[in-house]
Structure 1
Amino acid sequence: MKAPVAALLALLAAPSLAAPDYSEQRQPCSDYQTQKQAFFGDLHVHTRYSLDASTQGTRTTPAQAYAFARGEKLPIQPWTDEGEGRRSLQLRRPLDFAMVSDHSELIGEVAMCNTPGMEGYNSWQCLVYRHWPRGAFYLFNAWASIQASHLGLCGENDELCLEAAKGPWREMQEAAEAHYDRSADCSFTTFVGYEWTGGEAESGGNLHRNVVFRNAEVPPRPISFIDGPAASSLWHSLDQQCNSADGACDSLVIPHNANLSAGYMYSGLKDDGSPMDADYARLRKQFEPLAEIMQHKGASECFYQAGVTQDELCAFEQQPIDNISGFDNPPGPETGFLREALGEGMQIERQLGVNPYQQGFIASTDTHLGSPGAVEEDRFLGHGGAGVPAAKEIPPGLPDKLEYNPGGLAVLWAEENSRDALFRAMRRREAYGTSGPRIEARFFAGWDYPENLCDQQDRIEQAYAGGVPMGGELAAPPSAAARPTFLLAARQDSGTADHPGMPLQRLQMVKSWLDADGERHETVLDVAGDGGNGAGVDTATCATHGEGFAELCTVWQDADFNPQQPAYYYSRVVENPSCRWSQRQCIAAGVSCDDPDSVPEAFANCCAAEHRPVVQERAWTSPVWYTPAS
């Protein structure tokens, strides 16, 4: 799509600036910082064109989703007879960027079933969709995401549904264009994208991925799991239709919810279960530089089991099952947690010479209300999708499943808030995720950072000059005695005047490495702050107490470094404890678990054994890798 005429005229009249090369026409941003700045956003957002969202009553359009991200109020279901939302949401602070990522599968069918007069509107499938939406949610999803098939209302060669998909795809592009600030203000950035929604039939394992395009030049329609039921098919199709095609089209892919993949997202094998080869590993590394570490259906960092694993902070927002289909299978280390996956990537690299799982981290919401960035614990109304539906009435009790949460945010370190600058940050993995707060985190690795680097005003400039930022790869050590040295820094979420941010508790280093036999090891160290600071929260009132830190910074050297051992390192920033969304709503409802007979049935989960009333919000930086030259 072309930029508005006024913007193009302003671009031509603007003075020449030393700004990044743009893949599309726009004005250079007036706020351009060579040492990068943190931009907060959401790359996982569903609107009325996603089957699961629409069957739960979501009417949010892509344009409304972007307007919400920019600070406007959003009405949500249930709806009055006049079409007014009986509830609404609004962000305390707008986002810097967002992407609507509606499911590519069945996007045509959803449009057909909602558009009177369109061919297929009166099919039995659409009658089921309109009169039994929850049944349609399970039936249609299983058919598309497991059987990789359309639903029989699409005509010869599925042409009716493929043609119908072009309308929503066009609207998604138009909404992204309308809300992308191409002026020098660079106040808000949109990305065109979608979700590729595949699954593993027997286990119910999730294989979902979000596709992000660099600019407005995109394929004629989204490439879906039905087009090719394998991730490698998606990569090849994107390469043919976009990345290697003539023009400026460019794309990358972000796997998500590996915590519900039943081990299939990072199986160490090719999509068909055969042994991985170097070509497959290279293709995956090329297309998937990032992974989603957190969203409203749980965290995918690491697995925790009392008495078995040591890192208790891994218990954060851990789901009770290992798959997205609801099969009652408990999670385990091999479920798809990213700490394990990154370690397996190093093991694969020993065999194939390439690491297919060399991925950075982001987080997002996976909202199905069209509400990007709605992550505040005290304003959580559920996110729909597989959660508690509210199409016809406000559900009694808690507004979502107890194990779900508000989700997280993606953070990108870039020179400016433009598509090209943010996309480059994703490509080089200079990115991180938070569980919701706008924590600002830095992470650098080098060989000779001074011990007092935190005290120096130009510490970031020195860190870039003497090493690599998060997502980077350490060069070979300059001498046999050299040890990698890291700059870890974090600043608490500043919050707003009426809702201040939570102080930080501690800054941690996570290291994983392979020994001479290829066995994986890990250690988690507190390197700044105070994990025993006594901070806490009164779960009867949600009042917090104890001291914390507005900023943390340290220089840490790996004294146990072995130059013959592959390793990766990342930083985890942890806030003081606070009330989880569910506890806040239990308190508001007057629930007292000391008197079980007084607890309304709708709020029984407030007193369930698995209820976690306290949460420690956090951020995870993308890793830095070290690989021996041999």
Structure 2
Amino acid sequence: MVGPRARRAALTASRGIRMIKKLALGLLALTAVTAGGVWVLGLGPFGSHWESAPATPGPRLMPVAPNVAAANMSQADTVDPVLAAASSAEILFGDFHVHTNWSIDAAMFGLPMMTDSEVVTPADACDFARYCSALDFWSINDHAEGMTPRSWQDSVDAIRDCNAQSGDPQNPDMVSFVGWEWSQGANQAEGHYGHKNVIFREWEPGVTPLRPISSQKIHTIAKMMPAPALGAMSINSAFFRYQDFASYVRESVTVPTCPAGVSAADLPADCREVAATPDVLYRKLDELGYDAVVIPHGLAWGRTNPRDADFANQMPQHNARYQTLIETFSGHGNSEVFADFERRIANPDGSYECAEATADFIPCCQRAGELIRQRCEDPLAAECEQRTADARRFAAEVLDDRSRGVVAGASLEDWGNCGQLLNSFLPAWYYVNRQSTQYALALGDFSQPGAPQRARFGIMASSDGHKARPGTGYKQFDRTIMTDTKEVGKSGASPALGLFGLGGNDAEASSVLPLPVADKSFLSGIGRRNRMGSFYYTGGLIAVHSAARDRDSIWEGVAKKQVYGTSGERILLWFDLLNGENGEAPMGSEVSMADNPRFRVRALGAFVQKPGCPADSVQALGAERVASLCRGECYHPGDQRKPITRIEVVRIRPQQSAGEAIAPLIEDSWKTFPCPADGTGCTVEFSDDDFAAAQRETVYYVRAIAQAQPTINGDNYRCEYNGAGECVKIKFCSGEAASREEDCLAPAEPRAWSSPVFIEYKG
């Protein structure tokens, strides 16, 4: 029984809570009023710093011996034996995934209350790629959904100016490509196609699209930014930064939609062209008639993909002409491997049960049950077992991995590493396994008569950075600028954005979910806190085997899929079929043969980096800009190379019939070869003695693994283990556990992924 005194105390507390709520609502109303002024001011012009200034004059001083093979390198036969035996093609490094302030999400998360990042334009990206990361090529890929005629023209002009600073067009210091990101998404697996970068071969007037092609009429963030949100953000000393942002959001939402039924080649420049599905995007690219490549990316990242997303759903719309490459690694993590796990199991009546844990994955519904069991006075009692089972079923029903927390009072750390891919190199956050590269390579599309259609992707990597810094993986430093992290210290999360579900770690929401459970007092609503801060990395690189440094040579290598990806290190990698019908065939080749294939792999580690920046970068940019743009550290190679420790071979035998189980078709690692530890590189040869007998199409690719080094978020969980080897305490790299000065370094093994060699059985 509850006595009168206790009831009066509870009533007083309740009144106090209601008063606090009223004060909070009053503050929100005041914020909304403030927002009106900001919104009106936002109708004015941008501050001049939002539009690109001319790029810093180039070209940069190129090294005497760049990343080329023996025929083009002085003393290569004595310095690098692996290079001495390799082909004469150059290996060039680039970044095909770069965002600037013209992406609305980049502009929003670059506001002072988020990361204290400066305004970053396409011209800034050009300068960074040329003088900080010293790339050979790159492309701009701002989100088409938020771009306006003005921002698109500014981007195109900046790319043209960047190329104009590159010196001799036949031997430029850097090639800059123009493009955009087509960013589609759905809440359910059906109808979800994900994000794809569109990149064009040419940038000159008359052969460049007049507008990007969007997946929707208005960017999702622009839809979610009402005046109160803009007003709340404006309570900050950097008022005009927010005015500029409000102005761009307003300009973006007022761009009219292009008329339907008109060829993309005939549409005006002042409208937003929309292609809601990939097949419409490809049709519009056909209408434009320009050379283009479309690259799906971020496929296993749980932030932008439904947990049950399946690449099989988009196979009927796969276009082998445009969609030739897949981005396997970026600053948002590694999407390579297919781990065979389930989050929950559907029952015939539409309800769900919790799936079992595997060595690589612990469903969060399993963890919910364990947390409830820990609170029981007698863990072996029947009542405790019932509560545990109810909690698992409850968590399986709601399945909201993005906002984890269905146990009242459970902290972020209490949930541990559930819902994440374990035992993997720098994995994507809340890994979506049926969107992985290996899964896509193993699929067959049986929707049409005849032989199954395949997605024969070349493998590449890039940064997906939103701070106009292409190629950030050259050194592991300055996590808050060189990665896309937003969960930085307690002051790093925006309370205003938290109100709309966009902010950082410290916005907690709580409500009882209306599902029948044995004891709701143990269960609460979904917390807004997340662990994404532990899953942002410096970006990857795309490498291309190119006959020369010019645009056409680079594009030819891309078109032939003679590319590979790295996790940011400039590892040199060759992977060749030795006994094809027409002789040797490099990575990316599609071959038909009956004999057992024989392969050769060559790999050489990246150069050890010297501190600081080369003198020519400082001379070109000036010391102040080197400090602000490059953060005082540039790509600055020494003479020694890092060791390659091993070569791993992956073999995939794609589906031959609909419904054939995927997991047994993927052999990772099929073969592993150790490499010398002296830094002189690695050369291995091997054959598949089962191919002729199996008589089925087979896909092969390799990984070159380098010696472990301190890496940002190299350990996502920073676990403390008990005597049984169980992770009992986690310190995520986010919120109060990660200040702006904390880089969250831990050992991880840099690597390179080759494009596959695709072999059909002949006969």
Q: TM-score range by the shorter chain?
A: 0.5 to 0.7
Q: Tell me, in whole angstroms, the C-alpha distance in 2 between the residues paired with 1:469 and 1:439.
A: 17
Q: Deviations over 1:25-82 (max 9, x none)?
A: xxxxxxxx984111011111111111011112351111121111111xxxxxxxxxxx
| 1:390/1:316 CA distance change after superposition, 3 Å | closer
CA deviation map 1:474-505 (0-9, x unaligned): 2323xxxx210001110011233457653111
Partner of 1:569: 700
Distance 1:190 1:392, change over 3 A: farther
Tell me whether 1:507 sits opposite 2:647 in the alignment.
yes
Structure 2 partner of 1:56: 109
- Partners of 1:205 and 1:264 within 8 A in 2: no
CA contact (8 A) 1:300 1:337 kept: yes
Are the structure 2 counterparts of residues 182 and 250 from structure 1 closer, same or farther at C-alpha, using a change threshold of 3 Å? farther
Q: Which residue of 67, 74, 91 corresponds with 2:127?
A: 67
Question: Secondary structure at 1:444's aligned position in 2?
Answer: strand
Letter in 2 for 1:239: D
Q: How far apart are the structure 2 equivalents of 1:426 and 1:37?
A: 13
Counterpart pick for 1:560 among 677, 690, 711: 690
TM-score of the aligned structures, taking structure 2 as reference length: 0.53
Amino acid of the structure 2 residue aligned with 1:223: I
Secondary structure of the residue aligned to 2:480 is: coil
- Report what 2:214 is aligned to: 224
Structure 2 matches for 1:151-166, cutoff 5 A?
163-166=149-152
Match of 1:421 among 553, 558, 569: 553
- Contact 1:215–1:420 (Cα < 8 Å) also in 2: no
Q: SS state of the match for residue 63, structure 1?
A: helix
Once structures 1 and 2 are overlaid, which stretch shifts more, 430-439 or 399-408?
399-408
Instruction: Name 1:353's counterpart in structure 2.
Output: 451
SS at match of 1:44: coil
2:462 touches 2:542 (CA, 8 Å); kept in 1? yes
**Among 340, 353, 365, the residue aligned to 2:463:** 365
What residue in structure 1 maps to residue 198 of structure 2? 211
1:255 partnered with 2:296: yes
Q: Give the direction of change, closer, same or farther, for the CA distance of 1:585–1:386 in structure 2 (3 Å limit).
A: closer
1:411-444 Cα shifts (integer Å, max 9, x gaps): 0111011211111111111000001110001001
* CA distance in 2: counterparts of 1:583 and 1:516, whole angstroms: 38
Q: Distance in 1 between matches of 2:130 and 2:490?
A: 28
* 2:425 paired residue among 307, 310, 316: 316
Q: Match of 1:551? A: 681
* CA-to-aligned-CA distance 1:351-407 (integer Å, 9 cap, x gap): 643634110011001111100011145324335897307899878999981111112
In 2, the alpha carbon distance for the partners of 1:628 and 1:377 equals 43
Matched with 1:37 is 90
TM-aligned CA deviation for residue 170 of structure 1: 3.8
* SS state at 1:580 partner: strand
Distance 1:178 1:295 in 2: 28
- More helix per residue: 2
* Contact residue 56 and residue 389 of structure 1 kept, 8 A: no
Structure 2 counterpart of 1:494, which letter?
A: F
How many Å separate the matches in 2 of 1:411 and 1:600? 30
| 8 A Cα contact 1:206 1:262, kept in partner | no
Cα offset, 1:232, TM superposition? 1.3
TM normalised by structure 1 equals: 0.64
Provide Cα deviations, 1:281-319, integer angstroms capped at 9, x if missing partner: 4xx111111010000111110134784569x99711223
- The structure 1 residue matched to 2:753, chosen from 613, 620, 627, is 620
CA 233–420 in structure 1, closer or farther in 2 if over 3 Å, else same: same
Change (3 A) 1:52 1:175: farther
Structure 1 residues 412 and 265, CA gap change in structure 2 (3 angstroms): farther
How far apart in 2 are the matches of 1:391 and 1:613?
Answer: 19
CA RMSD across the alignment: 4.0
Q: Alignment partner for residue 267 of structure 1, among 307, 311, 315?
A: 311
Aligned residue in 1 for 2:598: 485
Percent identity over the alignment is 24
1:435 to 544, 558, 567: 567
Q: Which runs of 5+ in 2 are unaligned?
A: 1-85, 111-117, 217-273, 342-356, 362-420, 495-503, 506-530, 612-637, 719-728
- The 1:353–1:585 alpha-carbon spacing in structure 2 relative to 1, beyond 3 Å, is closer
Assess if the C-alpha contact under 8 Å between 1:368 and 1:383 holds in 2. no
Conserved 8 A contact 1:206-1:258:
no
1:52 partner SS: helix
Flag the 1:270–1:290 CA change in 2: closer, same or farther, 3 A: closer
- 1:410–1:187 Cα change, 3 Å: same
Structure 1: which 4+ aligned runs deviate by more than 6 Å?
A: 389-400, 583-587, 598-601
* Residues 629 and 48 of structure 1, relative CA distance in 2, 3 Å threshold: same
Secondary structure (helix, strand or coil) at the match of 1:237 reads: helix
2:576 is paired with a residue of what secondary structure?
A: strand
SS at match of 2:283: helix
Judged with a 3 Å threshold, the aligned counterparts in structure 2 of structure 1 residues 601 and 552 are, in CA distance, closer, same or farther, namely: closer
Which deviations, in whole Å up to 9, do the C-alpha atoms of 1:572-630 show, x marking residues without a partner? 1111222222479999xxxxxxxx9x999955369xxxx88321111100001112346
- 5+ residue gaps, structure 1, are 1-32, 72-89, 109-162, 243-248, 323-330, 450-464, 534-546, 588-595
Counting matched residue pairs gives 453
